[in-house]
Structure 1
Amino acid sequence: MTRRRRHRLLLLVDLAGPIALYYLLRLAGQDVHAAALISSLVPGLDLVTALVRRRRPEAVAVFMTVMMLGSALVSLLNGDPRFVLAKEGWLTGVTGLWMLASAWSRQPLTVPFTRLLLEGRIGPGRPRWEVMWELPRFRRIWRVCTVLWGIGLLADAAVRVVMAYTLPLDTVPGLTAAQYVVFVLLMQVVMNVYLVPSGVYNQWSRLYEPLRARQRAGG
């Protein structure tokens, strides 16, 4: 299985697994707190998979798993099932803050995820991203994208937390899944509204003029 397909499979497990397990546990007679707590641990499979395949986990998998276990521990201590159901919101909020903080780092957080999808598909001659990252305009584009994602994640987090604390308990997991789909589709629209005019997808855009000039000089 290719790396890209493996990431997609793990994403599907992380999204659908906890929801399916929650409702199965509820049908089996588990109370809301136990079902929410047990099902919240499913995304930790990312960490286990990384350990088995590469003997060391990826930083993102460790971060998400530590946050998940921490929220589960707090929920055990206070016995509040709504806290477990709101976990997705708290994690999303922390990720949004992390995303915003990374926008001014050497490599914004959107880069490794986007690179997996776009490297070898954009730019004149489809160069590696190490080459395109030398372009100031290219770097600025992904910093802006990182800020947009950070803002979007914070807004998404607020909605998740409000749902967890105001809606009937058994409706929250299903609505959370639907919100993932809506959020991803909405962010795709926002990203393309920004990226298409930026010239990222057009190898003849002004963005890539330095690379084309380099190719002409070398050819």
Structure 2
Amino acid sequence: MTRRNVPAAAPSETPPRPSGRRLLLGTVWDIAVPVALYYGLRAAGVGVFVALLAGAFLPALTTAVQWLRTRSLEGMAGFVAGTMLLGVAAALVSGSPRFLLAKDGWLTGVAGLWFLISIRARRPLLFHGGRPLLEGRFRSDGTSWDVLWEREPAFRRIWRVSTAIWGVAMLLDAAVRVVMAYTLPMDLVPGFGALLWPVTLVLLQLVNGVYYEVAGLWRLTAGTTTRSPRG
């Protein structure tokens, strides 16, 4: 049954939607470029610790450029840069290259906890992350996600469960990264760590894609399921 008499949604104050090209360039900058810089510096004879530091400052540089251009920061960008700088500061104090190698694991672990904590927030973290990419773009009848959130308990449950999936997956990813940092030869860790990102993300996309289909997310956004009473 199709959804009827759904009032038009007021324009939502969502941030500009990122393009696929922008997301790809951001991913390359944050993951591939630091790894390439590390191995380039190592080939030039630079020590492990200094080469790692050079790559660790790149996300902070990205955030600084964004702030200079817009005088504002996206929440995730500020979180990543702040956590990265804290990790670098701790590594400088300890003087341990192993700790610096494990920084991605600590960062991912904190992010995973943040995802899990946000489940009980007014709206979970993955809702905010998925909205600019999906709302009105994929299998949608044009209904605002604000309307769906208020009227569809199933819609709310789907985003809380998927946020939990991401949180758990990030904690597992973090554990693998920390183990690699303290057990593998140091020059292998940056490369293996970079390869782990696409593995984690692809698995997450597959698991979430199946869950969204089974749980009926696309039926809700496309208006092809019975509208639940407001509650």
**TM-score normalised according to structure 2 size:** 0.85
1:216 counterpart residue number: none
Deviation (angstroms), 1:9: 1.7
Give per-residue Cα distances to partners, 1:53-87, cap 9 Å, x unaligned: 31121222111111111111111111110111100
1:191 has 2:189 as partner: no
1:141 counterpart residue number: 158
2:30 counterpart residue number: 14
1:63 counterpart residue number: 79
Q: How does 1:56-95 map to 2 (within 5 A)?
A: 56-95=72-111
- Taking structure 1 as reference, are residues 128 and 53 closer, same or farther at Cα in structure 2, changes over 3 Å only? farther
1:3 has 2:18 as partner: yes
2:189 counterpart residue number: 172
Q: Structure 1: state its 5+ residue gaps.
A: 214-219
For 2:198 and 2:18, how far apart are their aligned partners in 1? 23
> Which is further off, 129-138 or 68-77?
129-138
2:3 counterpart residue number: none
1:101 has 2:117 as partner: yes
8 Å Cα contact 2:35-2:194 kept in structure 1:
yes
For 2:99 and 2:36, how far apart are their aligned partners in 1? 19
Q: Aligned-residue CA RMSD in angstroms?
A: 1.9
- Taking structure 1 as reference, are residues 53 and 112 closer, same or farther at Cα in structure 2, changes over 3 Å only? farther
Code of the aligned partner of 1:121: R
SS in 2 for 1:127: coil
For 1:153 and 1:205, how far apart are their aligned partners in 2? 33
8 Å Cα contact 1:93-1:153 kept in structure 2:
yes
For 1:71 and 1:124, how far apart are their aligned partners in 2? 41
8 Å Cα contact 2:140-2:218 kept in structure 1:
no
> Which is further off, 107-116 or 163-172?
107-116
Deviation (angstroms), 1:123: 5.7
2:135 pairs with one of 109, 116, 119: 119
1:162 counterpart residue number: 179
Deviation (angstroms), 1:121: 2.8
Code of the aligned partner of 1:189: L
Code of the aligned partner of 2:159: W
**TM-score normalised according to structure 1 size:** 0.89
For 1:45 and 1:133, how far apart are their aligned partners in 2? 36
SS in 1 for 2:217: coil
**Percent identical:** 45
Q: Structure 2: state its 5+ residue gaps.
A: 1-16
8 Å Cα contact 1:86-1:164 kept in structure 2:
yes
1:40 counterpart residue number: 56
